[in-house]
Structure 1
């Protein structure tokens, strides 16, 4: 059945539903072919093509081909089918938050650390939190390309007028550290704008709801246990405190009530708020509206600095008939793409390969250099087969929060509903 489904997926690719692109070096005989699936569209897709072209030019004996699929559940379903059918691409891009659903099921192969080291890629080149997330049972199953955190953008003029700027004219993180201080800062920015101080769009944005909660919950010292067949466990007091803070924030003064992502972005880009919570991938849009836009890691609202993040990473789908020559060429291609990280950083992503971040050229990028430390305090989704970017899990968690964020239910109601939804997932088998 899986092989039949895989043939169907291949037919779709030939029909044009997948965007494929072979680099100029792909033409000609005697080359080793390396196919990489990715989920990058728009500007990110163009950057990935540019990077793949540079890698192909540096490796004329390799035919580098990339295929772009729409990201979300369909992408991960196709990847699972291809791996199960034994005819996957040589490499694929995966959100590391989805790794726990694939590595345990034998759909991926671990990386050879010695082979990577020969190409100048070692553990020392990555932030510890990112490298750890790429592991499963002591082996490296993902090669991180970037860290893309949920951060705080700010309008330097409004921040300065509100008395929240440091000597450099940018947001002083100490001025928004702690729940009470943050809420006071939001009110101060609202006095400047005449409307609200903070933009956060939580309606119809499951991912944004989850990122906000999980980052703050981690700051508040919250742990978890998600064991299949057993009731989910969270620190209910810590989670309740997070929702009490969020209810205080969306009071119509600090941040608008009942606001979606587009409205929140519109307010920020039209100078009607001074601070915006969003993913760093929104940098190009915000910079178009305000060339001086600033950005920092997520403020330490609770005791422990932590920044929700995910990571685009390369994985090695399980090959039915492994080809040593293609595997060697694949390692060279992936190492080359990591070393093109400066190009990737232009879109706002933090290169996971830290030597890029230390380069003078990266340190000239603003505000990228200002929020790059977010990778050092990154917290990822809980390890479970059902969690991760684009998952139904995030949608269910956001639904559980809706009444509480809207002020229709107390903070603890959201926690109770989230635990109930987690229990439902834990009662189901991993389809992979």
Structure 2
């Protein structure tokens, strides 16, 4: 890796053996690239020069819609705090298109200075040499360090002990509820909060009670034809059994008894009488917002739309502990430093400054429902006053992220494959068949060649 000598200042750590960069051929095989990406060269090279300023900074993210608007506000606040940073922000299509373009930019040496990556994707990028590690001493200069983060989340952003990502949120699966319906069902305590649902049996009973009140559905949950919702629900519940899926070797370690326990519980809740197990995402959302369901299980990212629909009638809490220990499936928007053939030390420093300023300003990000990863924000009085966000704050303390493997992560085939098993459970042959389907699909994914190995260019 060559270094720019135009400026003095800190550079990426170089006292360790470099990780080989994935070759273009290997990237094509792994699916990080695709035919659509190969036609995207104009997009990747089309970022115009930043406005005249001391330090230009290219920033990529997959944040559009409401999230994109909030990020735009946060970048404006960054400029107020550090007007010397000229941030050229580019939002690209979420999912595989984004991660394809991000990988191609690193392989081609035309990457942005800093980018957003779902933490669940780290296993496909850090080992391949597609990312620079962060300089933690430099990040600390701008007021952010390990002690400011939940330990489990911080360590999840490492590869072989090196910090390749800095989380700026967790976005977990949570449980929303309709407060007036819960009150009618006798599920609120004296303070108007939902009574503890601290076992599988307690939740099944509460869901049945909600269905009696609504005359329709107790719990709304949409998974049919969705590429990820079923895995998100299963993954968190599997974590509650005390198990964590390990895909680091040649064989998986799925605990059949624990998986069966999860699938049987889900089948009991969505029995077709009290709650349907055949809803797609939009139908489940509509059932809840129309007042035909008392509970709604989904990601916290639905919060803005639910607040608009239900207002103060909306309640939310971290996923109840149905099994043995608290755990919530979550992913994390994180900052990464995509690999480049040359590194300008001033822009490298600016990327750290930018990340730290966004972290400190992440109370704005909480408006979208996301839980800030930077704990000084979460522990603030201002965050405690945010409702119903503060009601599920604990979901960020025990996050269950995807198992680390080259084929896992947001928008991946892994999510598709695992989500099919919930259809087998609720619409097909039931819990035992779902466990066997998951076992078979995991075995099939692990049997695929890992193109990262030996993929240095």
- Tell me the TM-score range normalised by the shorter chain: over 0.9
Please state how far the C-alpha of 1:227 moved relative to its aligned partner. 3.6
Question: CA separation in 2, counterparts of 1:289 and 1:168?
Answer: 24
Question: CA separation in 2, counterparts of 1:21 and 1:365?
Answer: 38
Please state how far the C-alpha of 1:178 moved relative to its aligned partner. 1.0
Question: Bigger CA drift: 157-166 or 147-156?
Answer: 157-166
Q: Which residue of 1 aligns with 2:7?
A: none
Q: Which residue of 2 aligns with 1:128?
A: 151
The answer to whether the aligner puts 1:367 opposite 2:398 as a matched pair is no
Q: Is the 8 A contact 2:44 2:110 kept in 1?
A: no
Q: Which residue of 1 aligns with 2:109?
A: 86
Q: Is the 8 A contact 1:183 1:254 kept in 2?
A: no
Return the match for 2:139 from 95, 112, 116: 116
Please state how far the C-alpha of 1:317 moved relative to its aligned partner. 0.7
Please state how far the C-alpha of 1:168 moved relative to its aligned partner. 2.3
The answer to whether the aligner puts 1:250 opposite 2:273 as a matched pair is no
The answer to whether the aligner puts 1:282 opposite 2:305 as a matched pair is no
Q: Which residue of 1 aligns with 2:225?
A: 204
Question: CA separation in 1, counterparts of 2:451 and 2:190?
Answer: 54
Name the SS of the counterpart of 1:290 in structure 2: helix
Q: Which residue of 2 aligns with 1:12?
A: 43
Question: CA separation in 2, counterparts of 1:425 and 1:431?
Answer: 13
The answer to whether the aligner puts 1:154 opposite 2:154 as a matched pair is no
Question: CA separation in 1, counterparts of 2:202 and 2:360?
Answer: 41
Name the SS of the counterpart of 1:94 in structure 2: strand
Matches within 5 A, 1:177-256: 177-228=198-249, 230-256=250-276
Name the SS of the counterpart of 2:174 in structure 1: strand
The answer to whether the aligner puts 1:137 opposite 2:160 as a matched pair is yes
Normalised by the length of structure 1, the TM-score is: 0.93
Name the SS of the counterpart of 1:225 in structure 2: coil
Normalised by the length of structure 2, the TM-score is: 0.88
Return the match for 1:411 from 422, 431, 453: 431
Q: Is the 8 A contact 2:61 2:115 kept in 1?
A: yes
The answer to whether the aligner puts 1:45 opposite 2:68 as a matched pair is yes
Question: CA separation in 1, counterparts of 2:38 and 2:442?
Answer: 34
Please state how far the C-alpha of 1:8 moved relative to its aligned partner. 4.7
Contiguous gaps of at least 5 residues in structure 1: none
Q: Which residue of 1 aligns with 2:18?
A: none
Return the match for 1:337 from 326, 340, 358: 358
Please state how far the C-alpha of 1:359 moved relative to its aligned partner. 1.9
Question: CA separation in 2, counterparts of 1:68 and 1:102?
Answer: 20
Name the SS of the counterpart of 2:117 in structure 1: strand
Please state how far the C-alpha of 1:194 moved relative to its aligned partner. 1.0
Name the SS of the counterpart of 1:302 in structure 2: coil
Question: CA separation in 1, counterparts of 2:267 and 2:141?
Answer: 52
Name the SS of the counterpart of 2:326 in structure 1: coil
Question: CA separation in 1, counterparts of 2:353 and 2:41?
Answer: 26
Q: Is the 8 A contact 1:345 1:351 kept in 2?
A: yes
Contiguous gaps of at least 5 residues in structure 2: 1-22, 453-457
Q: Deviations over 1:85-118 (max 9, x none)?
A: 2221001100001111111111111111111111
The answer to whether the aligner puts 1:55 opposite 2:78 as a matched pair is yes
> Measured at CA, do residues 48 and 222 of structure 1 come closer, stay the same or move farther in structure 2, by a change above 3 Å?
same
> Measured at CA, do residues 12 and 318 of structure 1 come closer, stay the same or move farther in structure 2, by a change above 3 Å?
closer
Q: Is the 8 A contact 1:196 1:252 kept in 2?
A: no
Q: Is the 8 A contact 1:52 1:64 kept in 2?
A: yes
Question: Bigger CA drift: 5-14 or 54-63?
Answer: 5-14
Q: Which residue of 2 aligns with 1:395?
A: 416
> Measured at CA, do residues 277 and 108 of structure 1 come closer, stay the same or move farther in structure 2, by a change above 3 Å?
same
**Total equivalences in the alignment:** 420
> Measured at CA, do residues 223 and 143 of structure 1 come closer, stay the same or move farther in structure 2, by a change above 3 Å?
closer
Please state how far the C-alpha of 1:430 moved relative to its aligned partner. 3.1
Name the SS of the counterpart of 2:363 in structure 1: helix
Question: CA separation in 1, counterparts of 2:392 and 2:327?
Answer: 13
Name the SS of the counterpart of 2:432 in structure 1: helix
Q: Is the 8 A contact 2:260 2:435 kept in 1?
A: yes
Backbone CA RMSD of aligned residues = 1.9
Q: Deviations over 1:255-301 (max 9, x none)?
A: 21311111111111111111100111100111111102010000111
Question: CA separation in 2, counterparts of 1:389 and 1:238?
Answer: 24
The answer to whether the aligner puts 1:103 opposite 2:126 as a matched pair is yes
Return the match for 1:27 from 41, 51, 59: 51
> Measured at CA, do residues 227 and 126 of structure 1 come closer, stay the same or move farther in structure 2, by a change above 3 Å?
closer
Question: CA separation in 2, counterparts of 1:261 and 1:255?
Answer: 14
Q: Is the 8 A contact 2:171 2:300 kept in 1?
A: yes
